[in-house]
Chain A
Amino acid sequence: MSKRTIIPFGPQHPVLPEPIHLDLVLEDEKVVQAIPRIGYVHRGLEKLVEKQEYANMVYVAERICGICSFIHAQTCSQAIEDLLPIEVPERALYLRTIWAEMSRTHSHLLWLGLMADAFGFEALFMHCWRLREKILDMVEDTAGGRVIFGSCKVGGVRVDIEDAKLKDIVIQYNDLEKEIKEITDVFVEDYSVKHRLVDVGVMSKEDAHVLGAVGPTMRGSGVAKDMRTLGYAAYKYLKFEPVVETAGDCYARTKVRIREVFQSIDLIRQAVAQIPGGPIAVKVTGNPTGSSFQCVEQARGDVAYYLKANGTKNLERFRVRTPTFANIPPLLKMLGGCELADVPVIVLSIDPCISCTER
């Protein structure tokens, strides 16, 4: 038996900026076992409900993760609206959808960049982030923040997007679509990229079910499950199909996300074409009671919120199950027996968001 080396991966590591620690037990360059250790980002924000009023919890939820920020805020608002209960104006629902899809495009481009970085393709990383920056500029122009949108609140949205600006967003996305196509084609077709992605970290359809994968990780293994089909926000008025690839390797997961970028752009177009006029928020009065469970599709998979209220200003229970949390068991399965060089690629292929996971 050959000598075993233990390589520490994280919590400070250039490939994955987020603090997760993996002890990789190596035989030569083959990973025999990956032992995770988490808890570096745990803040305990679910306990904050005792100190923050329920309306302020939207700010807290938004800061669970800086990449999925808007969708967290959206889900939290949805849950509280469900508790109160209040009816959100149509226009607000559409605006939420538009922002959520903008957030998805920026998150996927960010992920594509990080993935490129993981397999050592610096130029591709830079180009992905260059395109992402244009989306962030649009976000700043409409919502006011860059990564923390801050435009969602209980009862609707805080800022309106004028119709002229909405049209402008579509025009900008049309231009961007071509550029994104140029860059994503590299992921799909380039030989050296395929060499690093195809047949790496394979997860079968059965495993995806058994281990409870969610989001693109699951859709890459051939399971057509997309929480947006539940029809929350304005998705019930929009036409789309869940993106599915069947191979179950890193390449399939990459392709799912690439196709989702274009799907999101299409959804934004549809939403802008259909958006009705009217108010953007309703007045929120009273305190919530009862409990609510919300499931929303984030860029990384479905996030589940469980909120329980007791009629006071503060909620009683605030529980978040984030997509990365569900994706960690599949990740550990994929890591066993892989090459050391493939570790960053596989880790990133689930699009880990550790601060979501540990909250």
Chain B
Amino acid sequence: MSYLAKSPWLIHYDGSSCNGCDIEVLACLTPMYDVERFGIINTGNPKHADILAITGSVNEQNIPIIKNIYDQMLEPKVVIAIGICATSGGIFRECYNVQGGVDQVIPVDVYIPGCAARPESIIDGVVKGLGVLEEKYKKYGKKR
């Protein structure tokens, strides 16, 4: 048993999202949903974060940014793709500058559907991500 699942710190990156999912991620932090109940803090710092929440699809410009953030995060870490843009490209899938879902760049652990993803489904997804985090910790602990 580790304490990862009790204190998951989150970093949020907005890929080429429409803001809809972003403000829902932010809304999760605010009084009505208050994810700090689960110990979740929205840190802006990849070095402190355990969960990378990405909204929006990837394009040429932000691929290096996403990779950079992912590499800066310390093991164990979990990636959550929020909203259908981050899972498949969504309505913008056919746009010339959209490469598709986040899973094209970094491994994604949890996919949250919805356009825009509701705060409730984001909370569900993050809770699901905590299970993945715990598993990863076990694997990581063995490596260490």
Which chain A residues have a beta carbon within 8 Å of chain B's beta carbons? 11-15, 17-19, 39-45, 47-48, 51, 59-60, 63-67, 69, 110, 113, 125-127, 129-130, 133, 136, 145-148, 353, 355, 358
Contact = CB atoms under 8 A, between A and B. Distances in A.
A147 B97 contact: no
Nearest to A66: B20
Contacts of A67: 19-20, 23
Contacts of A45: 92, 95
Interface of B: 11-27, 30-32, 42-46, 56-57, 59, 61-62, 65, 69, 90-92, 94-98, 115-116, 118
A60 B94 CA distance: 12
B41 to A, nearest CB: 11
B27 A63 contact: no
B32 A60 contact: no
Contact of A126 (B22, B31, B116): B31
Given A42-B59, A63-B91, A133 B32 contact: yes
Contacts of B12: 17
Contacts of B23: 66-67, 110, 147
A63 B18 contact: yes
A14 B44 CA distance: 4
Contacts of B25: 17
A313 to B, nearest CB: 16
30 contacts: A11-B65, A12-B44, A13-B44, A17-B22, A17-B26, A18-B14, A18-B19, A19-B15, A40-B16, A40-B65, A41-B16, A41-B56, A42-B97, A43-B92, A43-B97, A51-B94, A60-B91, A63-B90, A63-B91, A65-B20, A67-B19, A130-B30, A133-B27, A136-B27, A146-B116, A146-B118, A147-B19, A147-B20, A147-B23, A355-B14
Contacts of B43: 14
A136 B42 CA distance: 22
Nearest to A50: B94
A43 B90 CA distance: 11
A37 to B, nearest CB: 9
A7 to B, nearest CB: 14
A1 B87 CA distance: 50
A125 B26 CA distance: 11
Contact of B62 (A17, A40, A44): A40
Contact of B30 (A39, A47, A126, A147): A126
Given A48-B95, A63-B91, A148 B115 contact: yes
A14 B14 CA distance: 11
Interface-central residue, B12, B19, B90, B116, by most chain A CB under 10 Å: B19
B97 A44 contact: yes
A353 B95 contact: no
A64 B18 CA distance: 6
Nearest to B12: A17
